[in-house]
Amino acid sequence: GKYYDFPAVKCFPKPAQNPHPPVILGGSAKNVFKRTVEWGDGWMPVTTSPDEIRRGRETLNDLANQSGRDPNSISITAFGQPGQLRRGDHIQALGEAGAVHAVIWPTKSQEADVISLLEELAQETLGVYPQTIGGTPLQAFSMTFLTICISLTDLSLPSSE
């Protein structure tokens, strides 16, 4: 290349997504939205307010319609900083604003603390008590920095009444 010439590079295992993993762009500059519509699969803003998600969805919809792209082909991911997105009503508001995924970043690192936090988050955001995630025991999730991605399109929160 212009700045560096890589020898033959191989990647194994290959990504499961075909033709490639989704391209998600972050930020809130006008050019980010234009690039997302032009060649991205989704947008992830820096902050997680429902108002910002709603404004971003409107901008993406307008730009996608102008370019002939289906606005629904562009996902929005709300990215929670450590300790954010702990209330079900906030996550639900993000979904209503247009987010289809929420990334929740636990602040604990000990296995027992992480498992406890996962259980609390599941009760608060999903209204369920998880015994397993995808058929895998929770004990398998003992990473130091764990990010949980919840699909908001499948989210059915219990009523707060």
* 36-68 tens-digit pLDDT: 999 999 999 987 789 999 999 999 999 999 999
pLDDT digits (tens, 9 = 90+) for 11-26: 788 888 888 888 999 9
Task: Provide the CA 35 distance to its chain's centre, in angstroms.
Answer: 18
**Cβ–Cβ under 8 Å, residues 149 and 103:** yes
Q: Select, from the ranges 41-45, 76-80, 107-111, 130-134, the one with the highest average predicted confidence (pLDDT).
A: 41-45
When pLDDT is cut at 50, 70 and 90, the band that residue 124 belongs to is low
> Considering only CA atoms, which of 33, 58, 62 is closest in space to residue 45?
33
What pTM, to 2 d.p., does this model score? Answer: 0.70
pLDDT value at residue 148: 55
Q: For residue 160, is pLDDT > 80?
A: no
Q: When comparing pLDDT for 118 and 43, which is higher?
A: 43
Residue type, 63: L
- d(Cα 133, Cα 55) in Å, to the nearest integer? 33
How many percent of the chain have pLDDT more than 90?
29
When pLDDT is cut at 50, 70 and 90, the band that residue 32 belongs to is very high
The average confidence (pLDDT) of the chain is 76
